[in-house]
Structure 1
């Protein structure tokens, strides 16, 4: 099967036009566009998706922790995919994990928090970045 058979080319075109067409796109619309475009160009759009998901969780859902934690978990998943494609991109994953950890702390979810912290420690121990140095996930 051709990998492009399952891609909605109209959706890809709309996403590209949205990103190129307007000056400042709301974070919600950037997330939607990156979710589409990551299917056709993962190396280009996974870091952008991870950053936009964090910004979306912080800007739009700070008052809804259940949604915020889900968006941050999706950000971590995007960063993990990026690491699978580009193993040297571990700082992106570490930063996404730091932000996910922050949300888990706020929500008092100790079991998940322990798993995230263990993953962070393993990443740092294997030379995968420094928790004090962050990728720009500010969404700016």
Structure 2
């Protein structure tokens, strides 16, 4: 089976047009576009997706912490995937984990916080 058979080329085209249009797309539109484009160009779009997910969680869902937390977890997943593809991107993962940690502290989610802090320590020290 051909890899491109799993990709919706119309969705890819719409995502690129959204990003390259005359106006600056909203963070919501950027997240949607990056989610599509990461399937065709992960090295180019995983860092952008990770950063945009954090912004989306912070600016659009500050009043809905459960949604914000899910978006930050997705940001961490994108950063982890980027580090798996390109190990030199550990700073992206440290940033995503730090942002995730921040919300876990505010929500008093101690067990999850402990796991994130352990991973943060490992990544920051160069361990995998």
Give the shorter-chain TM-score range.
over 0.9
- 1:2 equivalent in structure 2: 2
Q: Please show how residues 95-134 of structure 1 align to structure 2 within 5 Å.
A: 95-126=95-126
Q: 1:73: how far off?
A: 0.2
The Cα offsets for residues 25-55 of structure 1, whole Å up to 9 and x where unpaired, read as 1000000000000000000000000000000
- 1:45 equivalent in structure 2: 45
Measured in 1, the distance between the counterparts of 2:94 and 2:22 equals 31
The Cα offsets for residues 4-33 of structure 1, whole Å up to 9 and x where unpaired, read as 111000000000011001321100000000
Runs of 4+ displaced beyond 3 Å: none
Q: What is the TM-score normalised by the length of structure 2?
A: 0.97
The question of 1:21 aligning with 2:28 is answered no
Greater relative contact order (CA < 8 Å, ≥ 6 in sequence): 1
More helix by share: 2
Q: 1:127: how far off?
A: 6.8
Give the unaligned 5+ runs of structure 1: 129-140
